[in-house]
Chain A
Amino acid sequence: MKAFVSNLLRFKSLRFKPLRFALSALLSCFSLALFVSSAQADPLRIGVTLHPYYSYVANIVGDKAEVVPLIPQGFNPHAYEPRAEEIKRVGSLDVVVLNGIGHDDFAERMIAASENPSLPVIEANRNVPLLPAVGSMSQGRNGSGKVVNAHTFLAVTGAIRQIQTIARELGQLDPDNADSYRRNAREYSRKLRRIRAEALSQLASIDNVELRVATIHGAYDYLLREFGLEVTAVVEPAHGIEPSPAQLARTIDDIRRLDVQVIFSELHFPSTYVDTIRRETGVRLYPLSHVISGDYRAEKFEQEMAENFATVVRAILDTREAGQ
């Protein structure tokens, strides 16, 4: 190789123009080939905004691409403000996978402020049938149906639909690995379906799963639909907003009036007012994981969702046992 390059470098001394032209063309082709092969060899750098998307993408790409979280570990995405170094990192990405329906609005602003404002994005929820937003402040806006519940990632069906979309669009960006992405997506979806099937099989002896449910955060509608359950009341008046004392008093009245049997609270975001609700209503609380805190791991989503399914199963069985 060295000899070849040194020969090429000496071509300036050549007086014969056609030969110089031919060598110049050869050098250009050689450089282009080197550039293309190095570009192909570079794995995609895929940005993600939330922990579930880290798990989805990590399982889809395996070792064929790099998954880069936009938010550093330890930050709550409900109240995240990007910092300069995080915006700078966005410029080095090839694509960003977005929730896009209300849980990562900061991402688009980060992309716009980065060195690569035309960075492509994958709208993971593009093909998910979305549910309306929940909470007393959202209800008045549901007529238009435009304000949607952003927590599609907290359910197996919602997750699978997003995994399918992400795998397909990553395959378009990286056709060499498209088959691998699709194969991995199917395998991962199967693993997630098994979690749901195993949880539901524990309720096989129950003919009628009736449970009046309230949730602190409006995050679990998609998950509870997988059990055929609907949420009766949501404590937070809007996504990530704590209730005022007056709203809290109204919610407590609603929980009593609607005879709510179970409240699902937040595992990693405890709030002091939750104790007030428990004390005032006497309803049992079961904490669920929002899967948006802690370390970024490929297996995080499946592990925490398995715990969530187990928690809902336990709540149903406890309530039946208590004869409510």
Chain B
Amino acid sequence: MASVVVRPAGARQETAWLLLLCALILLVSAAIVAWRVVPDESRQIEIWQLDARVDLNAAEQGVNADLQAAADEILWALEEGSTPTPEQLAADWIPPFIEDVASAERGGHHWQLQSLGHELAYIGLSEQTATAGHFLLRVEAPDAGHSHEGAAPTSVWIKRDGSAAESERVALNNMELSNLELSNNALIAAGWQQVVSHFDASVTRGTGGGL
């Protein structure tokens, strides 16, 4: 008489194989991820520089972005032979020189122009230093023949006040401005910091070159 072994109904074996397969897939995936991981390179900036993305507050980021855009307009005007004053820039609706609700929210800067050697300095004194620091836009005249200290023809600088009283601060700043010297070393010594920003292409993009 033939005997047939009938295993009890159940999926224990299939479950075991499935779990093993899942574990294998996870293991392979983890190995691939570990192999492909790119170390997080932190960008080094000088101690006298501030990163616009992480070191500035929202109000300062707004003023900096506007100044960067205004700088091109100023350069173009200089190439055409005119030196735009803050009042002229405001009349052409160029922020941050125009006085509006946004400028008030961002510290209420009062802008003045100083011409120092072959450079122009657009200085914005902050009315509310707790909201945003003082700003300085340096613009090199196009016919100067060389960029300031090897850098781009324009740069943005910021100075944040300490704890001095408001009236003292303005007096101090006015005195400082009359003696302002436009060199990196002099500005750094006077407590100014250069605002720098960097371009990061999308992290999910391949490597590609620009022009």
* A positions within 8 Å CB-CB of B: 95, 100-103, 105, 108-109, 111-112, 120-123, 125-132, 144-148, 150, 157-158, 160-161, 164, 169, 172-173, 182, 186, 189-190, 193-194, 196-197, 200-201, 203-204, 206-209, 225-230
Contacts and interface: CB of A to CB of B under 8 A. Distances in A.
B102 A126 contact: no
Interface string B87-127: 00000111100101110111000000000000000000000
B76 A123 contact: no
Contacts of A157: 65-66, 69, 95
14 contacts: A102-B205, A105-B202, A112-B206, A120-B210, A123-B199, A123-B210, A129-B197, A145-B43, A145-B54, A147-B203, A150-B202, A169-B211, A197-B98, A228-B104
B210 A148 contact: no
B167 interface: no
B86 to A, nearest CB: 15
A131 B98 CA distance: 23
Interface of B: 40, 42-43, 51-54, 58-59, 61-62, 64-66, 68-69, 72-73, 76, 92-95, 98, 100-102, 104-106, 197, 199-206, 208-211
A103 B201 CA distance: 10
A169 B209 CA distance: 13
Contact of B100 (A127, A130, A201): A201
Contact of B102 (A121, A148, A150, A226): A226
Contacts of B102: 200, 226-228
Nearest to A127: B68
Contact of B206 (A109, A123, A131, A208): A109
Given A157-B65, A190-B92, A203 B101 contact: yes
Nearest to A203: B101
A200 B40 CA distance: 41
A200 B206 contact: no
Nearest to B156: A129
Given A194-B93, A228-B59, A122 B210 contact: yes
A203 B52 CA distance: 28
B199 A125 contact: yes
Nearest to A123: B210
Given A122-B211, A193-B95, A129 B101 contact: no
